[in-house]
């Protein structure tokens, strides 16, 4: 930043605008004769700007990969892997709890079930049956939520449910619906 007589003058990169303006400001004729190599100077200025803007843009992804800074291109796979690790941790912990506290098996099964389903859906293997089964469960859960919504709408229409109770039930259905992952 430069200071001049109480005002601040900021330097802004021109991205080639000044170079093109300078090349284009060369007069076409000097003393009645054509300016020598004017067209060449304009082409060189424009070509240099194009190369200096395109070359870094095209090389940047390779440079970032070379230094180990990857973009979000592998985000879905990282998310899938992390979700699988979380589900496995939850299942391991339920096994530990089964040994420590000896809770009823039916309660442990209820706790394990969503994590087992999630893990089956995330598994990246050729086990088509598990994935098909997980898709079927998601579809069935969507239909169950839709039936609940229809019933809630009917109850609201008849005036049996309204106000805060209606909003609370709608919010619960929204949360339940948001937990159902889309099919891929």
Do 88 and 116 touch, CB atoms closer than 8 A?
no
Q: What is the DSSP letter of 36?
A: T
Confidence (pLDDT) at 13: 63
Per domain, the residue ranges of the chain are 2-66, 76-124, 128-184
The model's pTM = 0.41
Give the model confidence (pLDDT) of 62-87 as tens digits.
888 888 776 666 777 778 888 888 98
**pLDDT confidence of 183, banded at 50, 70, 90?**
low
Distance CA 109, CA 112 (A): 5
Instruction: Please check the confidence at residue 126 and state whether its pLDDT lies above 50.
Output: no
**pLDDT confidence of 170, banded at 50, 70, 90?**
very high
Give the model confidence (pLDDT) of 32-62 as tens digits.
888 888 899 999 999 988 888 888 888 888 8
Confidence (pLDDT) at 81: 83
The b-or-e profile of 12-47 (16+ CB within 10 A means b, else e) is eeeebeebbeebeeeeeeeeeeeeeebeeeeeebee
């Amino acid at each position: 930043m430069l200071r001049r007589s109480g005002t601040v003058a900021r330097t802004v990169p021109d991205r080639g605008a000044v170079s093109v303006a300078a090349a284009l400001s060369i007069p076409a004729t000097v003393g009645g004769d054509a300016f020598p190599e004017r067209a060449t100077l304009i082409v060189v200025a424009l070509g240099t700007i194009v190369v200096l803007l395109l070359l870094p843009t095209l090389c940047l992804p390779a440079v970032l990969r070379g230094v180990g800074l990857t973009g979000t291109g592998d985000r879905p796979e990282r998310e899938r892997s992390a979700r699988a690790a979380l589900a496995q941790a939850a299942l391991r912990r339920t096994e530990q709890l089964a040994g420590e506290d000896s809770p009823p098996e039916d309660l442990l099964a209820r706790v394990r079930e969503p994590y087992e389903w999630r893990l089956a859906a995330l598994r990246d293997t050729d086990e088509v049956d598990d994935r098909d089964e997980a898709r079927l469960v998601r579809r069935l859960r969507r239909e169950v939520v839709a039936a609940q919504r229809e019933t809630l709408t009917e109850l609201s229409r008849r005036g049996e449910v309204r106000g805060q109770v209606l909003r609370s039930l709608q919010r619960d259905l929204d949360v339940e619906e948001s937990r159902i992952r889309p099919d891929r």
